Amino acid sequence: MKSIYLDHAATTPMHPRVLEAMLPYLQEQYGNPSSVYSLAREAKNAVEDARKRVAQFIGASPQEIIFTSGGTESDNMALWGVAQANRGRGKHIITTSIEHHAVLDTAAALEKEGFSVTYLPVDGYGQVQVADLKAAIRDDTILISIMYANNEVGTIQPIKELGQVARDHNIIFHTDAVQAAGYLPLDVDRDGVDLLSLSAHKLYGPKGVGVLYIRRGVKVANLLKGGGQERGRRPGTENVAGIVGLGEAIRLCQGKMEERVERLRHLRDLLIAGVLAKIDHVRLNGHPEKRLPGNAHFIFEFIEGESLLISLDLEGIAGSSGSACTSGSLEPSHVLLAMGLPHELAHGSLRLTLGEENTEEDIERVLQVLPPIVQRLRDMSPLYKQRAKVSGA
């Protein structure tokens, strides 16, 4: 049985060319970029090449790119660092109720330190309203942090319009673009973005490496204390192989983004149309059009997302509930609740996120396997049986 990986929002398999590019820096090119001899210079040059590549990818200049240990660190540094460095100007931060926990938990930690945080609501599709952002701005607002695209339901935010509001009010604007990168063209000037987070492992790159873009002139305090690496902003000997891998992953997706997106959209639409046609009491979550090309997120009434995942796994299909439920918690997803879904429905979620290796045959297999699994689980559900009795089925 061929296994089918449909959890690319969680992580992606590393592209073989990425590994190939990294290997020399794990073997013979082991120099520390901060040293002076030629072995070290090779490593330093490789890091700087990757920095140029990342800068070009988002329309920034290389000096504005800081390499980090991933999306989580980048988000932490953006929120915590801006808050600490700009607290003299005000102590109010605006974010949204559907951010990744790397943002939400940092915001909560800042609240404990005396900052005040407004969590913007979203509509039923998971979109932030520009008017809500305008209404939330206060004289003491120093930072707005809104994700580019949501990791659970795939909804894309109107970042350019939101960034314009931040710009009009002279407020620092951060966006977590971890899920958007590789699928949506990023441009920090067009979007009015002052800080932007990226993570390599969502882009067919290695785990444990990411980026924080910081616009020139924006004050951000360091999270870490130590050496002078990354222009003194992020101390620690550079993860040279990881950074090279990130640069290569970006190089690989740069040339063929449109073609990849088109292919994914086609597969995703086949999947969505098939699921909605073959299964009843199911709904698609997130925006029908303004969603990431590989994201399909459903709610199946009367069943638990967890049981669905286990049954799919037995068939060799890897998916996700796309929520905190996956970590063994019984709490339904904060994103689905923020979108107005009642608790009982939010438990029945399934996120399938497609990637480069997926084919039409994979989608056909899912459409063959999923309907009987859903039916079997519903047959065990007292709620479903009750409903069937009431409707006389």
Binding residues vs ligand PLP (CB under 6 A): 70-72, 75, 100, 102, 147, 151, 176, 178-179, 199, 201, 210
- Active-site residue, from 299, 325, 345, 352: 325
Comparing every residue's Cβ against ligand PLP, the nearest one is 71
Q: Cβ closer to ligand PLP: 183 or 384?
A: 183
**Beta-strand (E) ranges in 234-319?**
282-284, 295-300, 317-318
Q: Cβ closer to ligand PLP: 9 or 303?
A: 9
Q: Cβ closer to ligand PLP: 197 or 229?
A: 197
Whose tokens are 């086949």? That residue is: 270
* Half-sphere exposure (Cβ direction) of 388: Cα atoms closer than 13 Å: 13
Pair type for strands 295-300 and 282-284: antiparallel
**CA 149 – CA 87 distance, rounded (Å):** 28
Q: How far is CA 342 from the centre of its chain?
A: 24
Residue 236 beta carbon to ligand PLP: minimum distance, rounded to whole angstroms: 16
- Based on the residue annotation, tell me whether 253 is a catalytic residue of this protein: no
Q: Cβ closer to ligand PLP: 151 or 349?
A: 151
Residue 136 beta carbon to ligand PLP: minimum distance, rounded to whole angstroms: 21
* Half-sphere exposure (Cβ direction) of 343: Cα atoms closer than 13 Å: 2
Q: Cβ closer to ligand PLP: 179 or 239?
A: 179
Whose tokens are 């459903």? That residue is: 298
Residue 11 beta carbon to ligand PLP: minimum distance, rounded to whole angstroms: 8
Query: What does the DSSP 8-state code read for residue 155?
Result: B
By three-state DSSP, how is residue 266 classified?
Answer: helix
CA angle 228/233/239 to nearest 5° reads 70
CB atoms closer than 10 angstroms to residue 53: 20
Q: Which residues are catalytic?
A: 325
